[in-house]
């Protein structure tokens, strides 16, 4: 079986490096998403991410001020926000969002709130690890989520509550 050779091979170092970045990025996403066939929707996602990543690498080769994040960090930022270099760190936590000890201590006596606090903490720590940002807000968020659960009534799922927290909105805010 023969492999076709492109008619116009890359002629500059920049072209070669951008081509390598595109191939690495697409291969990375194929592995992350366990893509099995090039005609799937996920394969198109991989191609789009790879093109964006290669463009960013090309920009960095022509301008020293352009930062290129690692593949994993760029992938998470791109999936979350559509921007390879998005700052995914949570908004600073104003003190009024962080429940006082008495509130979250009382909330943690509720069995459901206790378990969902632990689940929220694990979710946020994993999210922060994947995004490559510090998880300093994880405990404060988990405590706030436990207080919300203990209060009863309707509540958002952990992912939506975390999105609200990162944006500086109340945990129960609807919409993104």
**Beta strand extents in the chain (DSSP E only):** none
| Helix axes 138-151 and 158-167, enclosed angle (nearest 10) | 120
pLDDT, tens digit (0-9, with 9 covering 90-100), for 16-54: 888 888 888 888 777 777 777 777 777 788 888 888 888
User: What pLDDT, on the 0 to 100 scale, is given for residue 5?
Assistant: 47
69's tokens = 């994040």
Residues of the chain scoring pLDDT < 50? 1-3, 5
What distance in Å separates the CA atoms of residue 93 and residue 140, rounded to the nearest whole number? 9
User: What pLDDT, on the 0 to 100 scale, is given for residue 98?
Assistant: 81
User: What pLDDT, on the 0 to 100 scale, is given for residue 80?
Assistant: 79
User: What pLDDT, on the 0 to 100 scale, is given for residue 3?
Assistant: 47
User: What pLDDT, on the 0 to 100 scale, is given for residue 95?
Assistant: 61
Q: Integer distance in angstroms from the first to the last C-alpha of the chain? A: 51
User: What pLDDT, on the 0 to 100 scale, is given for residue 1?
Assistant: 42
What distance in Å separates the CA atoms of residue 2 and residue 107, rounded to the nearest whole number? 66
């Amino acid at each position: 079986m023969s492999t076709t050779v492109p008619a116009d091979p890359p002629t500059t170092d920049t072209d070669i490096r951008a081509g390598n970045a595109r191939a690495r990025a697409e291969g990375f996403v194929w592995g992350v998403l366990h893509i099995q066939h090039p005609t799937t929707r996920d394969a198109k996602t991989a191609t789009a991410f790879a093109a964006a990543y290669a463009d960013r690498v090309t920009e960095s080769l022509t301008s020293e001020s352009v930062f290129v994040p690692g593949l994993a960090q760029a992938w998470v930022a791109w999936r979350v926000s559509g921007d390879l270099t998005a700052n995914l760190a949570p908004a600073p936590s104003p003190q009024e969002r962080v429940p006082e000890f008495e509130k979250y201590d009382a909330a943690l006596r509720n069995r459901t709130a206790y378990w969902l606090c632990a689940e929220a903490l694990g979710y946020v720590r994993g999210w922060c690890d994947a995004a490559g940002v510090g998880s300093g807000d994880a405990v404060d968020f988990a405590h706030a989520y436990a207080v919300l659960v203990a209060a009863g009534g309707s509540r958002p799922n952990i992912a939506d509550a975390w999105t609200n927290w990162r944006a500086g909105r109340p945990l129960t805010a609807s919409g993104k």
